[in-house]
């Protein structure tokens, strides 16, 4: 009886492994299929619009005026707007996020960590619209008051960069902290054995060993910043023009799609989808660049 039970359990185990193998395969295939279908939709609708407008005119023209006769569809101001705001967010968010992660992983007292860790996780759970309200009510008036002599109304590249810098903090902090904690403690102990101080052991041994995870955090932060829409709409000014300083308004590619897709028709709608193609290619190039950098560093 016991032997029969063991044989039955063995066959159940084999059957479970067989079933779960194909369950996981179907899940992976569904993910790949979803990405493929998104690519097909974007490129099938966007590429013809680019050809009709003219690829060079679409990417490098400086005037966006879909309501004019003849209409003008050029997204170069929005491309620059996305790059400037994302770059500003990186300048604000990455140093603060990385230093916070290092502090939490290697310097933070346990009592403070119990408060700080949930606070960071809470930041990650706040909806974008709430960040947008915070930017509109707090940051916009602050920038307008502090930089009054620059003739700014507060809705500017600087405001959007600061707000996005705050929004990418949870991603950078959580991923970087996990990477730093994953470094074997023998690295740290070896540095101490060679005479390094606690700070030198952390910054010159542990942190460099976690560079792959820190780069992953940077990629995720950039992806969050360049793809953010609602918060940016509320604080960036939404002016489809060439950037004229960090204290002036600008429009990003994501904001351009959201603001005009609701009433766009025919070529206008297809051009907005083509803007999504450009955004998709941007994120793809960023990921490929960081993958190449990661391989080089390793």
pLDDT tens digit sequence for 77-134: 899 988 899 999 999 999 999 999 999 988 888 888 888 889 888 888 888 889 999 9
Q: How many CA within 13 A on the CB side of residue 127?
A: 4
- Rounded Cα gap, residues 10 and 24, in angstroms: 21
Could you tell me the CA-to-CA distances from 210 to 37, 144, 203, 215 in Å, in that order? Answer: 35, 40, 10, 9
Q: What pLDDT score was predicted for residue 161? A: 92
| Predicted confidence (pLDDT) per residue in 145-203, tens digit | 888 888 788 888 999 999 999 999 999 999 999 999 988 888 888 888 888 888 888 88
Q: In which band, very low, low, confident or very high, does the pLDDT at 292 lie, cut at 50, 70 and 90?
A: confident
DSSP for residue 73: E
For residue 218, what pLDDT is reported?
87
């Amino acid at each position: 009886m016991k032997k029969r039970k063991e044989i039955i359990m063995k066959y159940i185990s084999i059957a479970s492994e067989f079933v779960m193998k194909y369950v996981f395969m179907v899940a992976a295939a569904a993910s790949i299929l979803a990405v493929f279908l998104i690519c097909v939709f974007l490129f099938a609708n966007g590429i013809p619009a680019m050809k009709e407008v003219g690829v060079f005119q679409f990417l490098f023209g400086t005037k966006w005026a879909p309501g004019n006769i003849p209409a003008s569809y050029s997204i170069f101001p929005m491309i620059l707007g996305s790059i400037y705001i994302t770059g500003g967010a990186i300048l604000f968010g990455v140093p603060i996020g990385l230093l916070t992660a290092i502090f939490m992983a290697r310097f933070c007292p346990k009592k403070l960590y119990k408060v700080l860790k949930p606070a960071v996780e809470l930041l990650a759970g706040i909806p974008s619209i709430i960040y947008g309200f915070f930017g509109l009510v707090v940051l916009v008036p602050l920038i307008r008051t502090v930089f009054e002599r620059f003739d700014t109304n507060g809705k500017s590249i600087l405001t959007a960069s600061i707000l996005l810098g705050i929004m990418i903090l949870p991603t950078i902090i959580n991923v970087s902290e996990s990477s730093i904690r994953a470094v074997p403690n023998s690295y740290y102990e070896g540095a101490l054995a060679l005479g390094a101080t606690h700070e030198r052991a952390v910054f010159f041994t542990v942190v460099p060993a976690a560079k792959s995870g820190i780069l992953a955090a940077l990629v995720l932060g950039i992806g969050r910043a360049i793809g953010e829409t609602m918060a940016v709409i509320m604080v960036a000014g939404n002016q489809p023009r060439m950037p004229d300083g960090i204290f002036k308004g600008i429009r990003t590619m994501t904001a351009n799609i959201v603001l005009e897709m609701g009433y766009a028709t025919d070529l206008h709608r297809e051009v907005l989808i083509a803007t999504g193609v450009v955004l998709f290619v941007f994120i793809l190039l960023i990921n490929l660049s960081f993958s190449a950098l990661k391989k080089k560093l390793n």
